[in-house]
Amino acid sequence: MFFSPKAQENLWKEIENSLTSEFVEEFLQALLNLMKIMFVINHEYRENIKKFDGRYQFCSEDGKVTMAAVFSDGRMKVLEKMIDHPHITITFRDGQTLLNFMISPRQDILGSMLRHDVRTKGNLNYLYKFGYMAKKLQLMMPQP
């Protein structure tokens, strides 16, 4: 698989646009897809999932969004469905809360949980690892 610099640039744009979008699925999808692509093209970033098995379920409170990220054998799959036996399920109130929770420059995991904007079920350490990978992605974003 090859992603041209132009294709990569478009993906970053998509993420950037989705940061201001009201539609959570757009942001989440863009984030997970970009993450998946960066694991393919960036060797250093791929190190994060080399020996990592992790199953993440993302849901919105209204039930409109169900996405999953599955890490296995050094690869990442993005699925638009409920998965079995997730290590952690993250249920969020709306797009902005997920954004604050995951990737905002002022990432606020505890605050989001305290305000019950986001609820989790399962092993929080998987969430912290995902938070690191999402933040790393953000730091890799080309600066204007």
Partner 1 sequence: MTNITLDNITLKDYTLENLPRLKELRSLSFARRTEICIERARFVTRYLLYHDNPADSAEVRQAKKTRHFLHRKRPVFHDRNLLAGSTTSKALGAPLFPEFFALTLWPELDTVNDRKKNIQKLEPEDAQELNLKIFPYWMDKNVLELTRERFNDPECLSLFESLVFFIAAKAGCISHAVPAYVPMLEHGLSGLMAMAAEQEEALANEESREAKEKADFYKAVQISLQGIMDYAGHLAEEAEFLAQVTDDPEVRKECSEMAQVCRLVPAEPATTFREAVNAIWICQVGIHAENINMAMSPGRLDQILYPYYQRDIEAGRLDIGRAIELIGCLWLKIADNVTMVPEASEEMFGGAGTVPAITLGGVDENGEDAVNDLTYIMLRVTELLGIRDPNVNARYDYENNSPEYCRRVSEVILNTKSVPAFFNDKANITTLQGQGETIEHARDYAVIGCVELASSGRDYPASSSIMMNLVAPLEMALFRGKRPITGDEQIGPETPDPADLNSFEEFWEVFKTQLDWLIEKAIELNEYMGAVHQEMMPSPLLSAFFEGPMEKGKDLIFGGARYNSSGATHIGFADVVDSLNAIEQAVFVDRKYGFAELLEMVKNDFKGEEGEKMRLYLKNRAPKYGTEAPIARKNAANVVRHLFELYQSHTNYRGGPYRPSYWTMTNHAGLGGITGALPNGRKARQVFSSGMTPVSGAAPELTACLNAVAELGGEYVPGCWALNIKYTPEDDQQQMSQRFAQTIEAYFRAGGQQVQFNIMTYEMLLDAKKHPGKYPELMVRVSGYSAYFKDLNEMMKDELITRTQYNLTNGMAVPFPEEGGK
- 33 binds partner 1, rule: CB under 8 A: no
- The one-letter amino acid code at 115 reads R
CB 142 to partner 1: min, Å: 17
Quick check: 30 and 14 in contact, CB under 8 A?
yes
Q: What phi and psi values does residue 120 have, to the nearest 5 degrees?
A: -125, 155
Question: What spatial distance separates the first Cα and last Cα of the chain, rounded to whole Å?
Answer: 27
Binding segment for partner 1 among 4-12, 34-42, 71-79, 101-109 (CB under 8 A)? 101-109
Binding segment for partner 1 among 12-20, 22-30, 75-83, 118-126 (CB under 8 A)? 118-126
Please report the DSSP string for 22-62 in residue order. Answer: S-HHHHHHHHHHHHHHHHHH-HHHHGGGTT--EEEEEEETT
- 110 binds partner 1, rule: CB under 8 A: yes
- 115 binds partner 1, rule: CB under 8 A: yes
Neighbour-count burial for 42-52, b at 16+ CB within 10 Å, e otherwise? eeebeebbeeb
- 72 binds partner 1, rule: CB under 8 A: no
CB 86 to partner 1: min, Å: 12
Kindly identify the residues of this chain, within the stretch 39-68, that bind partner 1 according to CB under 8 A. Answer: 47-48, 51-52
Comparing CB distances to partner 1, the nearer of 49 and 65 is 49
Residue 119 CA: distances (Å) to CA of 7, 8, 30:
34, 32, 22
CA dist., res. 7 & res. 4, Å (int): 5
Binding segment for partner 1 among 3-11, 22-30, 33-41, 126-134 (CB under 8 A)? 126-134
Q: Which residues bind partner 1 (CB under 8 A)?
A: 47-48, 51-52, 107-111, 113-116, 119-126, 128-129, 131-132, 134-136, 139
